Each structure stands twice: as structure tokens, then as C-alpha cells.
């Protein structure tokens, strides 16, 4: 019974990471696979966010210093 509870907890964590309901077929995965999938999605989102942030910083380097803070406020709103 604990295995079912652990799988439900892992599925709940995956739901949180995905920010929505995962496909029903994922409920067939075991707890470890669900945890691995949640970790992978979380890691991919974090890396994507960091890459976007770095790209945005590089883009701001093209803007003259005098205007950077104003452009940054407009773009990041």
C-alpha cells in the first residue's frame, strides 16, 4: 500500500512541476520513474530559464548604457 501512496505523491509532485495535469498514462509509471521525470522537467525548466536570462543580458549589452535601465524595465514588465 505504501508503494501506491508513494507513487501518488510522486505523481502529485510531477503535477506541480508540470503546472498542470499530466497525461493519464503517466500514472502507470512506478514511483522512481515519476521522480526521475519530475527531476528532468524541473532541471530542463531551470536551464531554459537561465539560458533566457543570459540571452536577455547579452541583448542588453547591445543597448547604449544610457538607455539600458529604461529598456530593461520596458522589456521585463
* pLDDT tens-digit readout, 10-32: 899 999 999 999 998 988 899 99
Cα distance between the two ends of the chain:
48
- 2: helix, strand or coil: helix
Mean pLDDT of the chain: 90
The closest alpha carbon to 25, from 41, 14, 16, belongs to 14
Q: Answer yes or no: are the C-beta atoms of 13 and 40 closer than 8 Å.
A: no
pTM of the model: 0.72
| Rounded mean pLDDT, 40-52 | 96
The residue assigned the cell 524595465 is: 73
Amino acid at each position: 500500500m505504501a508503494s501506491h501512496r508513494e507513487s501518488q505523491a510522486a505523481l502529485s509532485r510531477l503535477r506541480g512541476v508540470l503546472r498542470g495535469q499530466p497525461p493519464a498514462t503517466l500514472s502507470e509509471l512506478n514511483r522512481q520513474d515519476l521522480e526521475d521525470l519530475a527531476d528532468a522537467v524541473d532541471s530542463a525548466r531551470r536551464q531554459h530559464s537561465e539560458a533566457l536570462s543570459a540571452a536577455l543580458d547579452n541583448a542588453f549589452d547591445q543597448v547604449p548604457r544610457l538607455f539600458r535601465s529604461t529598456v530593461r524595465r520596458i522589456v521585463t514588465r
